[in-house]
Chains A and B, each alone.
Chain A
C-alpha cells in the first residue's frame, strides 16, 4: 500500500510539471497548445535513445531539453502571427506527427517502444519527481509574479495591445515556448526512467487532454491550482481502477469511461467555474504599506 502511495505521488509530481508547463503557455500567455504531449514525448524518447546508446542519464536529459527547444522553435515558425485556432491545430498536428513517426520508425522501437533503465528505488524516483516539480514551481512562480509575467498576461488578454505598447508578441511567445517545452521535456525524461519504457501509446492526444483537464479543473493562471488539478485528475484516474474491479467493469469500458468523465469535468468547469477550483489571484498593490 505504501509503495502504491509513493507511485501515486510520483506520478502526480510528474503530471504537475506538465501542468505547470502548460500553465505558462496557456494560463499566462494564452497559447493554446494541443500538443503538450510532444515535448514530454521528446524528453522520454531522448532518455530512451541515450540509454540504448549506453550513455548515462544526464546525456539523455540534455538531449531531451535540446531537442524539445529546437522542435518548439520549429513548430513556432509556421505558427508566427497566426491566431489561436491555428496554434491549436499546428501543435496538435505536430504531436501526432511525432507519435506516428515513433510508431513507424524501427530505430525508435516502433509499436513495442524502447526500454529505459528504471530507478532502482521508488523513494529515489519520488525524490527526483518532487525535486523537478519544485524546480518547475519556482520557475513558474518567478515568472508569474514578475514584469515578464505581467506582459505575458497582457499578451493573453490582447496581442494587439502588447504590440501597441511596443512589444513584439512573437518574441515573447518564443521565450515562453522555450521555457515551457524544456520543462515538459524534463518531465518526459524523468517519466521514462520511472516507468522503464517508452512507447508511442504513452504519448497520444489523450495525454494532452488529461493535462488540459488538470489545468482547467485546477485554475488556469494559478500555479497552486495546476498542482491541485493534476492531483485530482490522477487520483480520479487511479481510483477509477479500484471502482472498476469492485463492480467488475471490463478494462476497455473503464478506459473510455474515464475519458468520458474527464470530458464531463471539462464541460462542467467551462459552464460553471471557468476560473477553476483555485482561481488566478488578483495582484493587489498595497499603497499604505510603503
Chain B
C-alpha cells in the first residue's frame, strides 16, 4: 500500500500542497485530477523522491521513502514517468529497454574486466526480457531505431516498458494519454489493466477524463494544493465542487 499522509510543501511563499493525504492499494489504479497548477505533479514529485516535503510522510507498505533521493525511491520499487517522456534519444529503443533493468552485473567495472562470462550471460538474460517487453508493447519492429525517432505516444510506451524491466511495485504516470493518438491510448489503457491484474499499484495524473473513467478505480481531486474530493470516477463526475473547480458546468 502506498500512503501519502498529510503532506505539505511550499515553494517560497507559494503553498503547493496543503496536508494532502491519500492511499493507493495494490492491484488498483488511482487517478489524480485537478486544474493546472493544482499540485498534481508536485505531489508526484514528492512521492518519487524529487522534492522533500515540509511536513507529512510518504510510505510504501509502512516503510518511509527517501525524500530528495529519486534513485533510492526508484530502487525501492517506485517507477515514474514524465509528462514529456525522458529517454536516451541517441540510443536505440532496444538499448533503452536494456538500461531499464537495474540489476546489471556488467555495470560494475570489476565484473566487466574480471568476470566477462558472468556479464555476458546476465546480458543475454536481460536481452531476452527486453525483447519480450518490446513485443508486449508492440514496439518490437522499432527495436533498432533511435528512441528519439519514435512518436510521442510510442515514447511514452517505451518509458513504461523501461520501468517494467525492473518489476516495480508502484508506477506513477504523469499524463500518459496527453498528446497520444486514440489507438495508442486504448493500448495504454489495456496495459494499465494488465498491470493492475499483476497486483501493481498504478497512480496516474491525467486530464483525459475518458481515460480516467475507463481505467481508474478511485480518483482524487486536487485544487490549489488541497484535496477537495475522492471517490469512484462516477462519484467524482457528480461532485459539485469538482464540477465547479475543474470539470466545468455541464452544457
Contact = CB atoms under 8 A, between A and B. Distances in A.
A285 interface: yes
Contacts of B89: 157
A156 B143 CA distance: 21
B12 interface: no
Contacts of B105: 147
A143 B48 CA distance: 30
Interface stretch (A120-128, A158-166, A245-253): A158-166
Interface string B56-84: 00000000000000110011000110100
The size bracket of the interface on B is 35 or more
A158 to B, nearest CB: 5
B86 A147 contact: no
B108 A148 contact: yes
A239 interface: no
B191 interface: no
Nearest to A138: B113
Nearest to B102: A166
B26 interface: no
Given A166-B71, A166-B102, A287-B143, A143 B112 contact: yes
B224 interface: no
A164 B86 CA distance: 9
Interface string A143-179: 1001110110110111011111111110010010001
Contact of A151 (B107, B127, B143, B144): B107
Contact of B74 (A143, A153, A154, A164): A164
Given A163-B70, A166-B71, A285-B94, A147 B119 contact: yes
A80 interface: no
A151 B70 contact: no
Interface residues of A, number: 31
A155 to B, nearest CB: 9
A172 B113 CA distance: 16
A157 B92 contact: no
- Name the prevailing secondary structure of the A interface residues: helix
B123 interface: yes
Contact of A148 (B75, B86, B95, B109): B109
A146 B82 CA distance: 27
Interface string B105-144: 1111100110000010001000100010000000000011
Contacts of A150: 91, 95, 98-99
Contacts of A168: 71
A289 interface: no
A172 B104 CA distance: 13
A108 B110 CA distance: 36
20 contacts: A146-B106, A146-B112, A148-B106, A148-B108, A150-B91, A150-B95, A150-B98, A153-B95, A158-B87, A162-B71, A163-B70, A164-B74, A164-B82, A164-B86, A166-B74, A167-B102, A282-B146, A285-B94, A285-B143, A287-B131
Given A283-B91, A285-B94, 19 more contacts: A146-B106, A147-B104, A148-B109, A150-B98, A150-B99, A154-B99, A157-B88, A157-B89, A158-B88, A160-B70, A162-B71, A163-B70, A164-B86, A165-B163, A172-B107, A282-B92, A282-B144, A285-B144, A287-B131
Nearest 5 pairs of A and B residues by beta carbon? A147-B106, A166-B74, A157-B88, A166-B75, A161-B86
